[in-house]
Structure 1
Amino acid sequence: MSYRVCLVCMGNICRSPMAEVVLRRTLEERGLGGRVVVESAGTGGWHAGDPMDERALGTLAEHGYDGAAHRARQFTEDWFDRYDLVLAMDRDNVANLRRLAPTGVEVRLFRSFDPGAPDGAEVPDPYYGGREGFEEVLTMLETASEGVAKHIADEIG
């Protein structure tokens, strides 16, 4: 039985697929890859079926990650039963997910697992900016992924 994680942003072409690729590698490096399924989705469906944003893909590739297989998907209410952990990139997506979530389901911010981040820290949306925003996002994702991996390791023993 696998532990299942879904990482969520708005359109599933920038932040959450980058987080998926980064977290998957972090878990592999800690020997947890075979025990954890990492996926991503967006709260909006307008990019469903699209590949990752080229700037996100390029930033990942420059740092040795491969996100070429990604295709955007939309998170739907029935998905909560599939996942042990649902993490959103920002407060707007936390709110969107909580509106869909059954009572008692916890949705957290991805950066809440970064011990150096302030309370309520978000992963900013780099979509409307330049390439430097994607670099900044990658750094945040790598740092928070360490904390997420530790949390998952504690959860699954």
Structure 2
Amino acid sequence: MSRPPETSILFVCLGNICRSPMAAGILRSLAATSVRPIRIESAGVGPWHVGKPPDGRAIAAAQRHGIDLTGERAQMIAEVDYRSYDMILAMDRSVLANVLQRAPADATARIGLFRQVAEDVDADVDDPYTGPEDDFETCFVEIEAAAKTLYARLLEPTPEGSDG
């Protein structure tokens, strides 16, 4: 079975203002010149920040690496997302449990832990929200490494030998 012409990924964290917008921004930056179309978005499992931009510390960490998150706005994962994305990647086990619990019976998305899917590492991306600004830099670097590995995997040929 070959991949669809467009690969779609939804990154999910708790409030959609730190980790998931950073992951979406990083992967969008990597895929900006890709020949394979990749739709990349982010969402949260909680309503606290809906409509708001990412945390200023996340924006600053991304800007230090040449990535602009200022256009992002927090949103919650919706039932339709389970059918309209190829992958839904949770940033930690708690979020993953929440995403799986909400999944409708007709979900078609591959749902998994971001670092597990990206790097075969059974590890969370720790939430920097309650920590100092340095935690956002650490988080960004961790997400960037996993996103680079995920992107390389997305570009690998399918088992049938076609790359699209």
What TM-score comes out, normalization by structure 1 length? 0.89
Partner of 1:54: 56
Partner of 1:41: 43
Unaligned runs of at least 5 residues, structure 2: none
Q: Where does 1:4-153 land on structure 2 (aligned, <5 Å)?
A: 4-28=8-32, 31-32=34-35, 35-103=37-105, 105-112=109-116, 113-114=118-119, 119-153=121-155
CA RMSD of aligned residues (A): 1.7
Q: Which has the larger share of helix? A: 1
Moved over 4 A (4+): none
Q: Is the contact made by 1:51 and 1:70 (CA closer than 8 Å) also made in structure 2?
A: yes
Number of aligned positions between the proteins: 152
Aligned-partner SS, 1:56: helix
Deviations 1:54-78 (CA, angstroms, capped at 9, x unpaired): 0000111111110110100000222
Q: Using the aligned pairs only, state the percent identity.
A: 37
Counterpart residue identity of residue 75, structure 1: I
2:95 and 2:87 map into 1 onto residues whose CA distance is 15
Counterpart residue identity of residue 71, structure 2: A
Larger Rg: 2
What TM-score comes out, normalization by structure 2 length? 0.86
